[in-house]
Amino acid sequence: MNQNSSVRKLARCAVVAAIYVVLCMALQPFSYGAVQVRVAEALCLLPVFGPEYIAGVVLGCFLANLLGSTIVDVIFGTLATLLACLVTYKLRDLRFKGLALAASLPPVLFNAVIIGIEIAVLFPDPSSSAPLWLACITNGISVGIGELISCTVLGVLLVKIIETKAALRKVFVSE
């Protein structure tokens, strides 16, 4: 790999991290809490295009949580995103009718489980008498629904748009 390629990958990583943070901050009411649709999570599908995007998305999540959430979420939210991006990368070539649907599921599952438990344990609803296991499931479902919207709808759409643009570029631009 030449130095120019490394610089481009580093720049892409930084841009992805910045976009993640900006989306979270600009859409703050939707990005944090038990009921959330973190639009920036659509970027979790970018590892479909290369492993360098894993670092960008994870760094963006880390910084967004550092700026807008708790230290616990900085740790566990970033961990959930790291695990999700690693598995998404592994599923990058698996397609259903040309769509990266399988790659969209790791962020949904890791965040539903990890963040669902985090919210239930660390931020229990004082007005609820539900057992902890039920709170974990309820919060996990809530987080999972938000992740489905962000990753399986927006993220898959993002991948499709990028792939379509790349295919059109090959047809219309001679390099």
The pLDDT of residue 125 is 84
pLDDT tens digits, 33-50:
666 889 999 999 999 999
Tokens for 126, please give them: 């004082």
The pLDDT of residue 144 is 95
Residue ranges in the chain modelled with pLDDT below 50: none
The pLDDT of residue 149 is 95
Q: How far is 175 from 82, CA to CA, in rounded Å?
A: 35
Do 20 and 40 touch, CB atoms closer than 8 A? yes
DSSP 8-state class, residue 69: S
Q: Using the CB atoms, write b or e for 138-168: b if 16+ within 10 Å.
A: bbbebbbebbbbbbbebbbebbeeeeeeeee
pTM, two decimal places: 0.88
pLDDT tens digits, 57-79:
999 999 999 998 899 999 999 99
- Please tell me whether residue 2 adopts helix, strand or coil conformation: coil
The pLDDT of residue 128 is 85
3-state per-residue secondary structure call for 64-97? HHHHHCCHHHHHHHHHHHHHHHHHHHHCCCCCEC
Beta strands, E only, 18-160: none
The pLDDT of residue 174 is 52
